Amino acid sequence: ELKVEQNPLFLSMQEGKNYTIYCNYSTTSDRLYWYRQDPGKSLESLFVLLSNGAVKQEGRLMASLDTKARLSTLHITAAVHDLSATYFCAVDTAGGGADGLTFGKGTHLIIQP
């Protein structure tokens, strides 16, 4: 069974600081997704990482994938309040008998002025 673990689950940080969210998964997969969810809202796709070593950046967010370590990171640079949200990573369940994504529990990020 594929397990996806995010760390930390809660993070409070100050504006201007850097931080990294980690996403570990338990079985082989070459595809990993990052989503953002604002309170009371739906999920918004941030990054799709489709191969080992993939790195994608959008504004102050950068995501990377190491398939050998089964690890993805979401790095926040010089955080601003607008980045406060819950961030989910998700891994495809290829080989698990179902076509779908297994999500981590999410990282609730609060960025304080």
Partner 1 sequence: EAQVTQNPRYLITVTGKKLTVTCSQNMNHEYMSWYRQDPGLGLRQIYYSMNVEVTDKGDVPEGYKVSRKEKRNFPLILESPSPNQTSLYFCASSFEGASTDTQYFGPGTRLTVL
**Residue 55 makes contact with partner 1 by CB under 8 A:** no
Q: How far is the C-alpha of 20 from the C-alpha of 71, rounded, in Å?
A: 12
**Residue 16 makes contact with partner 1 by CB under 8 A:** no
* Cβ-based neighbours of 59, under 8 Å, separated by 6 or more: none
**Residue 3 makes contact with partner 1 by CB under 8 A:** no
In the block, residue with structure tokens 């990054």: 47
**Residue 94 makes contact with partner 1 by CB under 8 A:** yes
Instruction: Provide the CB-side half-sphere exposure for 16 (13 A, CA).
Output: 1
Q: Which of 51, 68, 99, 113 binds partner 1 (CB under 8 A)?
A: 99
**Residue 107 makes contact with partner 1 by CB under 8 A:** no
Q: Which of 85, 90, 109, 111 binds partner 1 (CB under 8 A)?
A: 90
Tokens at 47, concatenated: 């990054």
